Structure 1
Amino acid sequence: MIQKPTVEQMISSGFKNPYFIKSVINETGISEEAVRSLGKAYADEVTDRFFEYNYEPMELNNKKHVFTDLGITDAQGDNLLQLVDNLIFAPREKIKPYSGFRRLKNRSDGRRIDSINPFMKIMPYVMKQRNDAQVMAKYPIDVGVIDDYIKEKRKDGMSLTYLHVFVAVFVRILAIRPELNRFIMGNRHYARNHISISFSVMKSLRDGGEETTLKFHFTGNESIYDIYHILETAIKKNVGEPGNTGVDKILDICMRWPSPLLSFVAGSVKFADNHNFLHRGLIAESPFHCSIFVTYLKSIKLPSIYHHIYNFGNTSLFLAIGKEEKQAVINDDKIETAKICDLGVVMDERICEGLYLAHTLRILKQHLKDLSVLDKRLTRVLEDID
């Protein structure tokens, strides 16, 4: 099975993987030198366009010139570009499940990653728990574009909130930046096989009001319309009703047990989770086993905070969306007033490298400047490395 390289891997390696080169030569019938050169040129352009949030396969703007320099026909070059597209932008549903020993190393919510560098592999042994490895940052966001987008969608009958928009952006980012959807369990790195977001919902804003936690599963292809429908359906179903989620029912039963028994069961669940034999039903219901845990503090008029990552479960990202407020900002060397919402980010640093995160924040900025990209479904979801 040929490893599917990420865009960054293609650039850093310059198509040096011999198995990849061999497969391309067999598929296209052109020379190894041509494959390496054209592959590098294509990877550079893909990355430039990729960071402008255009993730669809595209042709080289100067491909005629490149083909001529390499001494290959247009048909051969087009065949190579199509092959590269298929390898980079492989839809999730086309990835076949592993079998045999490799399958035993996987979990119901993710597959183990073996091809990361040794330094990243050793990090979970040095920083054993998530609160050892959590890094924090506050990310100010000018929400003027979000306000305009919400007003525009009201014309379509959608009562969008910041929560809908942020969840849609987070889902899109995870779909195209799969390393952020990793988690650490048993000192091993895993690529989550789905996108899931958890957050708490207050059923009443009075003191002592009941609270429930909802978990949403996504494919990564969803548009803002899909996200809105999914969130609204679940929230309306649970707000105003007595505890009726799977988690609520499980906790209601468990809290009737004696404290020693409850402590033993909690410890057993952690042990089973750490050794990959926790029941898939519990993992599916648990809000602590998710891609991102979100706290929407804007709904209770509180500023953003840094919320710790839970050691229980396998959440690697915790995001706090605070109440927006007017702040002085510098724009073109002029001091202006802008409506700013702070996003508090707490992340398990063991899941990916700092450069990857920096590029991701760049893409996040671009999405928040042009929310129209959320109107259409994403046709291809990027897959993490093996």
Structure 2
Amino acid sequence: MLFNRRKDGKLVKGGDPMIHIMPYVMRGRNESAVYYGKSFCVENIQEYIREKRREGKRITLFNVIVSALLHTVYRRPHLNRFVAGRKLYQRNTMDVLYVVKTLMTDEGVESVAKITSDGHDTLEDVTRMMSEHISYIKDGQEKSDDCLIEFATKMPRFLIRFILWVIRILDFHGLIPKVLMDNIPLYSSVFISHMGSLGAEAPFHHLYEFGTTSIFCTIGKIYKKPYQNVASGELEWKKTIDISISIDERICDGFYLIKSLRLFETYIDDPYLLEQSPIELDLEHKQRLRQYKQYDGDSESFLEDYWEKMMAEADGDKDAGQSGENL
């Protein structure tokens, strides 16, 4: 049908009937939002950054987190879904939005940068793209979305309200022009705010009803947190960050989300994995899975013993890094 087609996504068909009825039960993103906060030890990342800087490569914690998110979204595609017009869609691209402040003052202007990946980008590629975007914005060069927003603010209020009403109607029916999607900074896979760069903690952020962004992440400042050394039983203070995630629960269930976060944590624990592209890592992963006799490559179903083994390993990793807060 005409109204089921969109330029930025493909209609999700079949599967669990619940995912198709939920957009009618919970019509807005904030009504459907689930909030999940987790702490991540970043000492491995910091050691990795120091090593790369000795090689003359400037990589930041934010670069690693953005790359880890892109890797996770590629490997866990349900995270790259969105609801529009009471329908569930699989996004065609992987896009990450984040705010860049031109000056670290009260008067500094904010601009939204976008990183788009097709699954072939390594950490080095992501770092390069982010550096180019930040330099472009801080050099004072206006982006097309900034020009569009500035132009809109000069219109009479009734005209702004009317135009936005028309855009919402077009978006609901999948008729919004792609040029508007590209220039309205609310169409993405994930929106990230690095509050830690301002010395702040990671609050839970609302989701935008306008656009198609289903996930909002905030990153807090680095602090020290006690972890239990399983071998000695002693407490060790390690550098940690908090990441708060707001996600539209209509795009995936809790089981899928928790598994996705475990994959994300794997990249945080071992940033060397990010030196390969998501496609390369996904191929390696599927090759390992084919070692199991009853693995179905099309449906990606697994043996119960494989799941038990995987979950046992995950629980073991969790116990090995048990936080002192749980003592």
TM-score of the pair, normalised by structure 2: 0.83
Work out whether 1:273 is the aligned partner of 2:171: yes
Query: Is the CA contact 1:175–1:221 (under 8 Å) kept in the aligned structure 2?
Result: no
Deviation at 1:191, TM superposition (A): 0.2
Contact kept, 8 Å, 2:3 with 2:175, in 1: the verdict is no
- Measure, in 1, the Cα distance between the counterparts of 2:167 and 2:57: 41
Q: Distance in 2 between matches of 1:216 and 1:358?
A: 25
CA displacement at 1:286 relative to structure 2: 2.2
- What are the residue-to-residue correspondences of 1:1-386 with 2, within 5 Å? 101=1, 105-241=4-140, 244-332=142-230, 333-379=233-279
Give CA deviations for 1:62-121 in whole Å, capped at 9, x if unaligned: xxxxxxxxxxxxxxxxxxxxxxxxxxxxxxxxxxxxxxx5x7622111000011211111
1:299, CA displacement in angstroms? 1.3
Hey, what's the Cα distance between the residues in 1 that align with 2:275 and 2:171?
38
Alignment partner of 2:279: what SS?
coil
Partner AA of 1:198 in structure 2: L
Q: Distance in 1 between matches of 2:148 and 2:30?
A: 26
Q: CA deviation at 1:195?
A: 0.2
In structure 2, how many angstroms separate the alpha carbons of the residues matched to 1:329 and 1:379? 34
1:255-313 superposed Cα distances (whole Å, 9 cap, x missing partner): 11001111111111111111101110111222211000000111111111101110010
Instruction: Could you tell me which runs of 5 or more consecutive residues in structure 1 were left unpaired when the two chains were aligned.
Output: 1-100
CA distance in 2 between partners of 1:379 and 1:209 (Å): 38
The 2-side partners of 1:325 and 1:138 are apart by 15
Q: Distance in 1 between matches of 2:228 and 2:34?
A: 27
Three-state SS of the structure 2 residue aligned to 1:238 is helix
Find the residue that maps to 2:193 and give its secondary structure: strand
Q: Give SS of 1:129's match.
A: coil
Calculate percent identity across the aligned residue pairs: 29
Distance 1:113 1:176 in 2: 17
Asked whether the 8 Å contact 1:112–1:188 carries over to 2, the reply is yes
How many residues are paired up? 282
For 1:27-74, what per-residue CA distance to the aligned partner results, in whole angstroms no more than 9, with x for missing partners? xxxxxxxxxxxxxxxxxxxxxxxxxxxxxxxxxxxxxxxxxxxxxxxx
| Superposed CA offset, 1:330-361 (max 9, x none) | 23143221111000111000101111111111
Local SS of the residue matching 1:346: strand
What amino acid is aligned across from residue 171 of structure 1 in structure 2?
L
Which entry has the higher C-alpha Rg, 1 or 2?
A: 1
Q: Counterpart of 1:283 in structure 2: which amino acid?
A: M
> Is the CA contact (8 Å cut-off) linking 1:215 and 1:285 kept in structure 2?
no
Unmatched runs of 5 consecutive residues or more in structure 2: 284-297, 300-327
Give the 4+ runs in structure 1 shifted more than 4 A. Answer: none
TM-score (norm 1): 0.70
RMSD value, Cα: 1.7
